Structures are given as structure tokens and as C-alpha cells.
Copies of this chain bind each other. A is one copy, B any other.
């Protein structure tokens, strides 16, 4: 498996780099970005936080806007951000070119419906292929945490709940916490997974948490109460109710006055990094 480097920039005495590679999961070229903290320059191996971005994003948004590197450099944490969908001329997009399905909107599931099943296998890519690649090519340990925003918050919680042996902690900002019951999630799951709604619950964090049988992980969620998408799309209360039912160790904080933007993420990302650092 070969990696092509696309960019490299020094930041907080560490390095931000972008790569592309041929993916076996999505059967197309994928890009990701990685922050390597300064500790890796002297051969030290560091744990990795995987960051999953939201609708319309690429591997670049978090790295440019979150302001995460000062704290990650201090704590000695690598950060890996994949793209949000397969890309390329052969990859099917939404027929109407909408922002919330198709390119930039892979929803971190394995699609079963044609034509999306050909490349939209983001679940396998994020859970297995990408960590294998990172642990083969970079000075990192197999200690992993996972976080994300909005669609990526759905991805991080859902993946952590289904693969709790692979992560030491999980967090999210403004996650789509109950996708089977909101317009974004229903559109995506119908398109990628088909009409049978019982196939959807395996990708719904609230449903997974309700009947959680796996090892429970420390989980931190921040949600702005001035978020335009709060009631219709995000539904954090459903997740809180699920945590009560299964006594899941979820901390969900409503943050007064904050919206859905990277300004919100940048305000609390250092706290999330310190949270994950405690459990590596």
C-alpha cells in the first residue's frame, strides 16, 4: 500500500501533512490529513485521535479551522482526518447534487444500494483500513480515540459504540444523534441502505447505546444550544435518554449561546483532547 504525500507544513513544532492513496474499501483514491506532534520527531510513538468531519467537508476543514494543534502538540496526540466520502469521476453522486447525500456526505456507513454500494464503504474505511494504514506508516501506537462533528459526530459515536474494543474513548460535537428519526439521516440511510428501516438501526447511535452490550467507553458530547439544526436534525435528548436506559457513561453538555460552526468546535476542542488523553 503506497501513500503519496500532497502537502507538508510545520505547525506547533509538529507537522501537518496530506496524503492520497488507493483504497481497497472504497475502491477509489482517498485523501486524508494527519497532524504529527513534535514528540514523533524523536522517534516516540503517540496515540491517535481520529476526527470525522460533517456534511460538505473534506480532510481539510478540521485541520484549518479547529485550532487543535497547540493542545495536541502539548499532549503528544496525533490527529487523523479522513475525507467524508469517496471521490472521483466514477463515484456516484446524488442525482440532484444536494449537499446532504452523495459526495461529501458518506455518513460513515457501508452502502448496500446500487450504485452507491460500489464506493460508499466509509464504515470499513474508517474502522479498519485507515487505522491499519496509519499504524503501518506513521510513528503511532495502537491507542485510538475518535471524535467528529455533526455527520461526523454521528460517525464517531456510532463507530465507537460498535467497536468499543478498538477505542479508548469517544467524543462528538453537535452529533446527528438519532439519524433514523431526522431528515438528514433518513434521506442518507434510505439512499445508502434501502427502504428496510430495520437495516438502519445498526448505524444509529441512540439505538446502539440503548441496547449497548459492548464494553462501555468514556464518551463526551458538546452541543450548542443556539445551533440551528438542534431540534430537527441533531436530537441530543434521544441520546441522553438512551444513556440513562443502558447506564452508559455519557457526558452531554449543552453549551449556551454556541452554534453549529467551527467557532464552537475551536472553543472546546482542547477540552476534548484532554478528555481523550486521560484514557489512552
Contacts and interface: CB of A to CB of B under 8 A. Distances in A.
A259 B10 contact: yes
A263 B267 CA distance: 18
A88 to B, nearest CB: 26
Contact of A70 (B11, B16, B67, B261): B67
Contacts of A270: 70
Contacts of A257: 10
Which of A10, A16, A258, A264 is packed against the most chain B CB atoms within 10 Å?
A10
Nearest to A226: B10
A76 to B, nearest CB: 17
A39 B262 CA distance: 22
Contacts of A98: none
A266 interface: yes
Contacts of A70: 67, 70, 266, 270
Nearest to A265: B11
A64 interface: yes
A42 to B, nearest CB: 15
Interface string A182-211: 000000000000000000000000000000
A69 interface: yes
B266 A10 contact: no
Contact of A9 (B64, B67, B69, B263): B263
Given A64-B262, A262-B64, A11 B267 contact: yes
A258 B64 contact: no
Contacts of A258: 9-10
A129 to B, nearest CB: 27
A65 interface: yes
Nearest to A13: B267
A16 B257 CA distance: 12
A99 interface: no
A12 interface: yes
A120 to B, nearest CB: 29
A16 B258 CA distance: 11
Interface in A1-42: 9-13, 16
Contacts of A264: 9-11
Interface in A64-89: 64-65, 67, 69-70
B12 A267 contact: yes
Given A9-B258, A65-B65, 17 more contacts: A9-B264, A10-B224, A10-B257, A10-B263, A10-B267, A11-B264, A11-B267, A12-B267, A64-B64, A64-B262, A67-B67, A67-B69, A69-B266, A69-B267, A70-B70, A70-B266, A70-B270
User: Across chains A and B, which 5 residue pairs bring their CB atoms closest together, nearest first?
Assistant: A67-B67, A11-B263, A9-B263, A10-B257, A10-B258
